[in-house]
Amino acid sequence: MSNLHESESGHRKVVLVGNPNVGKSVLFNALTGSYSVVSNYPGTSVEVLRGDATIDAQTYRVLDTPGMYSLLPITEEERVGRTILLTEAAEVVVHVIDARNIERMLPMTLQLIEAGLPVILAVNILDEAERLGMTIDIPLLSKRLGIPVVGAAFARKRGYEELCAAIASYTGPAGRAFTYAADLEQDMARIAASMHGRYSLDRRALALLLLQKDEELTAQVATAEGAGFTAIETALREVIFERRSDLHLTISMERRRLCRSLLDGVVVQSAGPGTSLADRLSDISLNLWTGVPLLLLILYFVLYVFVGQFGAGTLVDFFEGYLFEEWINPFVIHLGNDYLPWYWLRELIVGEYGVFTLGVRYAVALIMPIVGTFFLAFSVLEDSGYFPRLALLVDRLFKRFGMSGRAVIPIVLGLGCDTMATMVTRTLETVRERIIATVLLALAIPCSAQLGVIMGLLSEVPGALAIWTGVIVLIFIVIGLLSAQLLPGEKPVFYMEVPPLRMPQLRNVLVKTLSRMHWYFFEIFPLFVIASVLLWAGKMSGGLKALVSLMEPTMHLLGLPNEAAAVFVFGFFRRDFGAAGLYDMQTSGLLSATQLTVAAVTLTLFVPCVAQFLMMKKERGWGVSLGIFVFVTLTAFGVGALLNKLLIVTGFGL
Amino acid sequence: MKLTDKAEEILEALWIATEENGELSMSLEQLTAAADDAALQELTRLAFIEVKGTRVHLRHEGRDEARMAVRRHRLAERLMMDVLDLKGVHGDERACEFEHLLRLGVDTKLCTLLNHPTTCPHGKPIPPGACCEKARKTGDLGVVPLTELKAGEEGEIAYLATGDSKKMQKLMSMGVLPGNRFTLRRAFPSYIFRIGHSEFAVDAELGREIYVRRDGA
């Protein structure tokens, strides 16, 4: 059987499937040579990646699916993965598994084979398995499964050639069926016999999925069978009742039994080495008494030293203070003055809020070094496998805020860019968690650009930084506790696989950092330009002035001078514009210590930048995002006003 | 020898009054029994109790029988509450009827099924039977939730009891299956266990729903 499924583009398709963290993305990169995010955290690779590969003078379209554990989908990602398998008519499906956990992952290979899919099995991470004292007889496994099997360590470039050869010489699915226990076989036959429609899945496999109450496929079969579906439904109900037990469990246990007998003599485990350095480090990161100090140490070095001092200090000084101030800006402004005869155009390009002087300068000279250093550090931590450990370390604490430990990932990412973090909240399991995380990101998590400027600003006034930190942490805790109490919805449950700690791989780190920077520039950079244009339009039309004067009464409430209104209006377009505006006011001596502290706190809490708001709308919808917008605004100004009163009463800064 | 239901209840009351509340005897009035009550006569004949005027005393000879009657009553309460989900007055009433069926080794079977409970739903101690002592000696505590184990302990997964079948399916497809051997690596701040070469983490809520058979000491 060699049916060449051809897509519209004429490419043969290769689909990569497998659990999270088995090296699918590394293989994808090796095959296609393009960018993709390799991630340790289950659920980060939500998107499906496509790329082209040339194998033996033939072009293939390669699809990288999100991590999936079983053909019976539970999460959104698994549903996406299965839909691809069932609808994309792949020439070859490469199932990538982790050799160390072959017994646990082989059941999915069986599912793929019995579904009638054209499977090649890639037993990856073989080098690590060998280090642990495992030997795997690849030819024997291939013979038993009846499909091509390749032993590999893709991160070490091992097995890549063999896999390409197997793809090039692939002749179609073997049509092998595995025999389950007699009673289960009978049940399957009974269901399959009542089906008459045409399906992309093998009927036996389909019967198994229906018996496990697969809602999506049940609906599809109902449509395909029409009136005949009643008979199937009756048969299903009868089998499920006769069994009086969970069929999912029965089937899982049967598959494990099959896999054990398939692997008998294939896998030989000899005594492995003792605890490695990675094991010991892992223990340190998981123990509360050593894990928390380690976390603080990481936060100090990553956020304060690397991003704060190096990124926001050294690099920004160079780009902004030297390159732009000394060279580029004077040159461009000079050019503009010489060659742009119209005032309005000159203002648009090189004016106070000009696209170049404000938009490009901020994006390139101020934001890029800060966000870039943050993304680099984040990618190193991500690739090492530290985040899942952090998640389970803080799980108990986060439960009080109505979120599972998983939510710590978007929260930490928010310290880099809140907009990206808001997008990442979609990896959280319940809607309730997503909303709480979105609120906290919008309110109490300052992004790296904002952090950089505010820290620089407040460090000049003794005590101000401590007050600012105290208030922000307090608000985070209070709002977290409150939303856990007030928001309805199911309580979060925490469970996950903990990937082993490993040395970050330079290539992975670079790919991740670059793809984040890439995203950042394509999503955010246009918004800088739009923000500049809007501000320009506001200035030219007088709308800006009107908006600013509308804000002025609020400033009095906070005890701030009228000029601060502009800072808050800018703050909405970019949080860091606001922070930088504050910086200008401070240097021109317009603010007292109290005023500076109040303004910094209010601005940090204040409504997210326009990009984050748009992302909130995209992820949560208009209703929720507008609700959060109003809530955050009221909280920010309320807290600001209260803090002002408190500081005046206690006589801070006088 | 089979006591009547009424006789068993008198023994229970006497045992609770003397052993748990430190009283010396009970009055006929407290036992809601007349002096010529058939159950009292039955117990006197067996030398389990002694009636002195209006006071009823539990004799040394009757203590073991009384203790086991209390045990059966409290085991019945646990059964109603934990397994049949009958709570409150309704459950108590059913337990009162059910306890009399728990003779001739049925109490041992129930006790093992309930995993040798030590207290009744009202918090009173359940007097241990021979089966409890034996289980304690062999260290076989039967099937317990994962959360009962200490870090470093090993065992085998017995079954998953999670009410949310999606979560159970997810755990199973990840490889957390009955019959798999595991080592509990940490019990705080989350439960981390190792199966084969993989590590999994669950919180206390889910950990309580993973039942395991721990290796004997």
Whether A495 and B186 lie within 8 Å, measured CB to CB:
no
Q: Would you say residue A275 lies in a domain?
A: no
Tell whether B181 is within 8 A of chain A (Cβ): no
Of B167, B174, B178, the CB nearest to A69: B174
Tokens of A569: 């209006």
- Structure confidence at residue B216 (pLDDT): 60
Tell whether A257 is within 8 A of chain B (Cβ): no
What's the gap in Å between the CA of B80 and the closest CA on chain A?
A: 23
pLDDT value at A3 more than 60:
no
Helix axes A464-486, A448-458, angle to 10 degrees: 140
- Which residue has tokens 């997810």? B170
Strand intervals (E) in A248-306:
267-269
- Structure confidence at residue A643 (pLDDT): 92
What's the gap in Å between the CA of A23 and the closest CA on chain B?
A: 15
- Shared-domain flag, residues A86 and A190: no
Whether A396 and B190 lie within 8 Å, measured CB to CB:
yes
Q: Would you say residue A279 lies in a domain?
A: no
The residues of chain B scoring below 50 in pLDDT are 217
Whether B198 and A495 lie within 8 Å, measured CB to CB:
no
Report the sign of the C-alpha dihedral through residues A258, B163, A401, A431, in that order: positive
Specify which of A62-66, A389-393, A586-590 reaches the highest per-range mean pLDDT.
A389-393
Which of chain B's residues have a Cβ under 8 Å away from the Cβ of A491?
Answer: 205
Of A108, A396, A497, the CB nearest to B198: A497
Please give the tally of structural domains in chain A: 3
Q: What is the 3-state secondary structure (H, E, C) of A328-397?
A: HHHHHHHHHHHHCCCHHHHHHHHCCCCHHHHHHHHHHHHHHHHHHHHHHHHHHHHHHCHHHHHHHHHHHH
- Structure confidence at residue A86 (pLDDT): 87
Tell whether A495 is within 8 A of chain B (Cβ): yes
Which of chain A's residues have a Cβ under 8 Å away from the Cβ of B186?
Answer: 286-287
Tell whether A246 is within 8 A of chain B (Cβ): yes
- Shared-domain flag, residues A122 and A163: yes
Whether A249 and B178 lie within 8 Å, measured CB to CB:
yes
Helix axes A610-620, A506-541, angle to 10 degrees: 110
> Apex CA A425: angle with CA A419 and CA A430, to 5°?
155
Distance between CA A397 and CA A395 in Å, rounded? 5
- Structure confidence at residue A77 (pLDDT): 78
Tell whether A480 is within 8 A of chain B (Cβ): no
- Structure confidence at residue A126 (pLDDT): 94
Q: Is A52 helix (H, G, I), strand (E, B) or coil?
A: strand
Tokens of A117: 């899919």
Which of chain B's residues have a Cβ under 8 Å away from the Cβ of A70?
Answer: 169, 173
What's the gap in Å between the CA of A495 and the closest CA on chain B?
A: 4
- Structure confidence at residue A608 (pLDDT): 65
Residue span of the structural domain in which A198 resides: 182-269
CB B208 within 8 A of CB A505: no
- Structure confidence at residue B43 (pLDDT): 87
What are the pLDDT digits (tens) for A491-506? 888 888 888 888 888 8
For residue A1, what pLDDT band results from cuts at 50, 70 and 90? Answer: very low
- Shared-domain flag, residues A587 and A471: yes
- Shared-domain flag, residues A509 and A612: yes
Tell whether A498 is within 8 A of chain B (Cβ): yes
What's the gap in Å between the CA of A395 and the closest CA on chain B?
A: 7
Count other Cβ atoms within 10 Å, centred on residue B83.
Answer: 11
Whether B198 and A248 lie within 8 Å, measured CB to CB:
no
pLDDT value at A107 more than 90:
yes
- Shared-domain flag, residues A559 and A590: yes
Distance between CA A371 and CA A449 in Å, rounded? 7
More confident residue, A61 or B86: A61
Tell whether A500 is within 8 A of chain B (Cβ): yes
Q: Is A497 helix (H, G, I), strand (E, B) or coil?
A: strand
Q: What is the DSSP letter of A180?
A: -
Whether B201 and A393 lie within 8 Å, measured CB to CB:
no
- Structure confidence at residue B139 (pLDDT): 62
What's the gap in Å between the CA of A367 and the closest CA on chain B?
A: 37
Tell whether B175 is within 8 A of chain A (Cβ): yes
Tokens of A248: 């999912």
- Shared-domain flag, residues A353 and A228: no
What are the pLDDT digits (tens) for A194-224? 888 888 888 889 999 998 888 889 998 998 8
Tell whether B205 is within 8 A of chain A (Cβ): yes
Tell whether B45 is within 8 A of chain A (Cβ): no
Distance between CA A514 and CA A520 in Å, rounded? 10
- Shared-domain flag, residues A517 and A611: yes
Written as one letter, the residue type at A57 is A
The half-sphere exposure of B156 on its side-chain side, counting CA atoms within 13 A, is 8
Chain centre to alpha carbon of residue A644? 38
Distance between CA B98 and CA B77 in Å, rounded? 9
Which of chain B's residues have a Cβ under 8 Å away from the Cβ of A103?
Answer: 196
Lowest model confidence (mean pLDDT) among A35-39, A640-644, B1-5: A35-39
Which of A259, A406, A495, A502 to mutate to probe the B interface, most B CBs <10 Å? A495
Whether A493 and B167 lie within 8 Å, measured CB to CB:
yes
Which of chain B's residues have a Cβ under 8 Å away from the Cβ of A69?
Answer: 170, 173-174
CATH of B143-214, one of 2.60.40.10, 2.30.30.90, 2.40.50.100, 3.40.50.150: 2.30.30.90
- How confident is the prediction for chain A on average, in pLDDT? 85
A596's enclosing H/E stretch is helix A593-605
Which of chain A's residues have a Cβ under 8 Å away from the Cβ of B168?
Answer: 246, 248-249
- Structure confidence at residue A8 (pLDDT): 43
Distance between CA A288 and CA A394 in Å, rounded? 9
Tell whether B168 is within 8 A of chain A (Cβ): yes
For the domain bounded by B1-138, which CATH number is listed?
A: 1.10.10.10
- Structure confidence at residue A7 (pLDDT): 42
- Structure confidence at residue A523 (pLDDT): 75
**Residue where a domain terminates, one of A123, A140, A168:** A168
pLDDT value at A591 more than 90:
no
Comparing alpha-carbon positions, the chain A residue that sits nearest to B190 is A392
What are the pLDDT digits (tens) for A550-577? 888 888 888 888 888 888 887 777 666 6
Whether B198 and A399 lie within 8 Å, measured CB to CB:
no
Q: How many residue pairs bridge chain A and chain B with CB atoms within 8 Å of each other?
A: 103
Written as one letter, the residue type at A522 is F
Q: Would you say residue A330 lies in a domain?
A: yes
Whether A494 and B179 lie within 8 Å, measured CB to CB:
no
What are the pLDDT digits (tens) for B173-198? 888 888 899 999 998 888 999 998 88
A150's enclosing H/E stretch is strand A149-151
What's the gap in Å between the CA of B202 and the closest CA on chain A?
A: 4
Q: List residues bridging with A578 in a β-sheet.
A: none
What are the pLDDT digits (tens) for A355-369? 887 778 877 887 788
In angstroms, what is the C-alpha Rg of chain B?
A: 22
- Structure confidence at residue A38 (pLDDT): 44
CB A133 within 8 A of CB A269: yes
Q: Would you say residue A457 lies in a domain?
A: yes
Comparing alpha-carbon positions, the chain B residue that sits nearest to A491 is B205
- Structure confidence at residue A408 (pLDDT): 93
What are the pLDDT digits (tens) for A452-477? 778 778 887 878 889 999 999 999 99
- Structure confidence at residue B171 (pLDDT): 84
Of A75, A104, A399, the CB nearest to B196: A104
- Shared-domain flag, residues A162 and A105: yes
Which of chain A's residues have a Cβ under 8 Å away from the Cβ of B189?
Answer: 288, 392-396
Tell whether B184 is within 8 A of chain A (Cβ): no
Which of chain B's residues have a Cβ under 8 Å away from the Cβ of A399?
Answer: 203
- Structure confidence at residue A34 (pLDDT): 56
Which of chain A's residues have a Cβ under 8 Å away from the Cβ of B165?
Answer: 246, 248
Distance between CA A174 and CA A119 in Å, rounded? 9
Comparing alpha-carbon positions, the chain A residue that sits nearest to B166 is A74
Distance between CA A483 and CA A432 in Å, rounded? 9
Closest by CA to A23, choosing from A514, A508, A378, A515, is A508
Whether B175 and A288 lie within 8 Å, measured CB to CB:
no
Written as one letter, the residue type at A132 is L
- Shared-domain flag, residues A159 and A189: no
Q: List residues bridging with A120 in a β-sheet.
A: A94
- Shared-domain flag, residues A211 and A145: no
What are the pLDDT digits (tens) for A223-233? 888 888 888 88
Q: Would you say residue A173 lies in a domain?
A: no
Tell whether A297 is within 8 A of chain B (Cβ): no
Domain positions in chain B? 1-138, 143-214
A2's enclosing H/E stretch is none
Which of chain B's residues have a Cβ under 8 Å away from the Cβ of A246?
Answer: 165, 168
Written as one letter, the residue type at A358 is L
Average pLDDT over residues A56-84: 86
Say what percent of chain A tops pLDDT 90: 30
Whether B197 and A287 lie within 8 Å, measured CB to CB:
no
- Structure confidence at residue A100 (pLDDT): 92
CATH value at residue A147: 3.40.50.300
Whether A497 and B169 lie within 8 Å, measured CB to CB:
no
- Shared-domain flag, residues A163 and A193: no
Closest by CA to B66, choosing from B81, B49, B41, is B49
**Residue where a domain terminates, one of A269, A302, A317:** A269
